[in-house]
Amino acid sequence: MGRKIALLLIWWIFVSYTLWLAPLDQPDTWPLVQKLLTLQWGEVNAIIPTLFSLMGVWPMIYACLMFADGRMQNFRVWPYFIGSNGTGVICLLPYLILRESNQEFYGEKDKWLRILDSRLTGVFLLVSTIALLTYAIVAGDWGDYLQQFQTRHFVHLISLDFCLMCLIFPLTSLFNDDMARRGLKDSRIFWTVALIPLFGPLFYLCLRPPLWVMGNR
């Protein structure tokens, strides 16, 4: 219950902050988003499209845990996953708050679950992340990014959203339950993944054993 209260508090603060202190209905928001969506990255500081793209990587990291977990919940995962690709933690956190902890998995893995359960998916996400961060480091202007962080609400919010994605990963029991479903009981695995933002979860997806299927119930 303590975890759910913490997650609910984070959700409420971030939603309130977004609506009242950093609303996105600014004149410079849509032109920037349009450039990012149409891959006109040469016209934008490289750090911004990197952050924007990583906010697509993070929902996939969570999806690799959520869809197996969602099989054991009383509601569907898809709306929260799809919403998180557009709004980040605003749509992701309600799933993490509403779900009940469950460390079992029954039934067969469908094609989508097999993809999400595959280590190759983790490797693809890891390689993509390394490529994106390399692009930001090589071509990005950090001074300009800091200025945009302070003056442009969109850049400000996706930066905070990225940090919250990192923060809530070890806070939710979703990660603990996924480890238990795979027979992983070593607390050192949990803390290694939890204390290394972004890359901890990515390496976990690359190295975790396959999901234990317990048959039908």
78 located within any domain: yes
pLDDT, average across residues 35-53: 93
pLDDT at 215 over 70: no
Look at residue 30 in the predicted model and tell me its pLDDT: 85
212 within a domain of the structure (yes/no): no
Range of weakest confidence among 36-40, 110-114, 209-213: 209-213
So what's the pLDDT on residue 213? 67
Domain housing 50: 2-207
pLDDT-based confidence at residue 217 (cuts at 50, 70, 90):
very low
Dihedral through CA 153, CA 159, CA 165, CA 167, nearest 10? -110
pLDDT digits (tens, 9 = 90+) for 87-120: 999 999 999 999 999 888 887 888 999 999 999 9
Q: How would you classify residue 75: left for phi > 0, otherwise alpha for psi between -120 and 50, otherwise beta?
A: beta
Asked if 96 and 69 count as a contact pair (C-beta separation under 8 A), the reply is no
Written as one string, the DSSP assignment of 192-206 is: HHHHSTTHHHHHHHH
Assess whether pLDDT exceeds 60 at residue 168. yes
The mean pLDDT of the chain is: 91
| pLDDT classification of 132: cutoffs 50, 70, 90 | very high
Reported residue count of the chain is 217
Is 0.85 topped by the overall pTM? yes
Burial of 40 (0-12, 13-18, 19+ CB in 10 A): exposed
**Confidence tier at 10 by pLDDT (50, 70, 90):** very high
Query: Does residue 17 sit within a domain?
Result: yes
Band of pLDDT at residue 26, cut at 50, 70 and 90: confident
Total number of domains constituting the chain: 1
In a domain, 214, yes or no: no
DSSP string, 87-151: HTHHHHHHHHHH--------S---HHHHHHH-HHHHHHHHHHHHHHHHHHHHH--HHHHHHHHHH
pLDDT at 160: 95
In a domain, 112, yes or no: yes
